[in-house]
Structure 1
Amino acid sequence: MLDMRRMQLLRAVVTSGSVTAAARNLGYTPSAVSQQMATLEKEAGITLLERSGRGVRPTDAGRLLTEYAALIGRQVAEAETALADLRAGRTGRVVVRYFATVGATLLAPALAELRGEHPGIQVDLRLTGSDDPLPEVREGRADVALVVRPRGGAFVDGVRFVHLLDDTYRAVLPKGHRLASKRVLDLSDLAEEPWVASEWPGPCLDAILTACGAAGFSPDFAVESEDYATAQGFVAAGLGVSLVPVTGLAGHHPAVVVRKVRNPEPVRAIYAAVRGPGPDPIALRGLLDALRRAATP
């Protein structure tokens, strides 16, 4: 196998025109350079240099290796520059998994900030469906996943959770509903109402059911909905009342009213799940910082 350092030394000899000149330029002794060239010729299995007057010139094989040595040198320099940019956070790649309602309200402003501060960082975004994104984070296929989980939830091996936001729920009522005139509702005010389910089974629905349980009732879901916009449409049609998180109310239906809820106030906790325990690469750390700022009112 050819030694890359000896190839670079061959390049210096060919460029300098002699072993003596190359040795002088590099701070070596001529005998040391000659020994390295002899070893490189044994590795190559062919003569690389031939005498020319007081100096040397490359054979065809020597010229070939010299050209490759120059190419390798450029590639190594490029690699060193790329590594320096990566270490400094000027470049990099972050793979992000997120759910729909945090896309516009939380992730978009964070990415805009990240792009402004680190334009060389590439972000790979993918919307999560029903699949749990935590295995992707644990196995290194994703750098961060935005998830909803209970406060103080169970430990997940290989994953660290960074709290971003407590997303409170609001009551959504049809205009003209008997409770629409109240500015703030007790959750128990909705106990006898038919409900439009705004969440699929999982941590978001669990937050609603837990709050309703604390208020002394279980909601009677008359209609199930796949998303918050559809749920509001069902509410507007008079099919029931619903709870929708603030991040899902960026543009609410004109035929509904939105009211605060208390005793208790339902809330879902949003976290950034990252591979633990760290330290985080600069690109990921920059995104987490931007997410925290986007989540701050």
Structure 2
Amino acid sequence: MLKFLARFKLPKGIAILVIIALVMLIGASIGGLVGQSVNDFSEQLPAYKETLQDKFVWLVTTAANYNILLDKQQLISMLDPNQLIDVATNMLTGFGGVMANSFLILLIVVFMLFEAPSIGHKVHLALDDPEMKMQQIDRFLDSINSYLAIKTAVSLATGVIAATFLWALDVDYFVLWGVVAFLLNYIPNIGSIIAALPPVLLALVTQGPLVSGIVAIGYICINTLMGNMIEPRFMGRGLGLSTLVVFLSLIFWGWLLGTVGMLLSVPLTMVVKIALETSEEGKWLAILLSAEQPEE
């Protein structure tokens, strides 16, 4: 983005301000929509509890018609209203934490943008074989940029399609679930599954098992199309990490850095892989991390 703005002969300081303003505008717009949806969702939790209780009553009555005895009070007690309030509180707290982390990340990006023009010269002075090392660094940066660009485009398309699909089925808070699908699509393997659970359960509460099943099938189709067909087509061979390594990196970085680590597990693992490839002692481990068949 900084290079793109430099083509218009903008001073570096102004270009950075433009980038910051654009990021803040997009972040504030999405944050406002998501925040309002979260607040509305938390306010509706008591109503959802009553709806579930009614469904339990219907389930007990229907089962009794087939001589199946169920304890209504025991079923209702499984739905603790305090737990529902805790869910809403945790969602609001988590959203506030995301906004705080976003501000911190924005500050880091600002300082990185100011330092970017001098990085190449510093690396050139610091390395023993600058030409070879710079080629490896350029290859790494190109791979990361390509991965993030394609992943962002696919995640954005996934979120938009999911939100549109939920809107067509009249599922509440479709904007919120679209944003959730967009963000969690960055998490390999399990992100799309986690993103599907809230709208599926909400559809079950508000519209019944038929619509809930349709939502579940729709999410499966969306994630199969985007994750197994479109994304691999544009990603090609990807970043050269095996599927097992991607899954293990998700667990490791998630344990180390939490949700942020899960979102950045692939780029962070790629940093480690490239670093190992640059040293003779670490090449063997880089080969183990790679998805490619090593040459004899």
**Interval of TM-score (by shorter of Structure 1 and Structure 2):** under 0.3
Query: Which has a greater percent of strand?
Result: 1
Calculate the TM-score normalised by the size of structure 2.
0.19
Calculate the TM-score normalised by the size of structure 1.
0.19
Which fold has the larger relative contact order, with Cα–Cα distance below 8 Å and residues 6 or more apart in sequence? 1
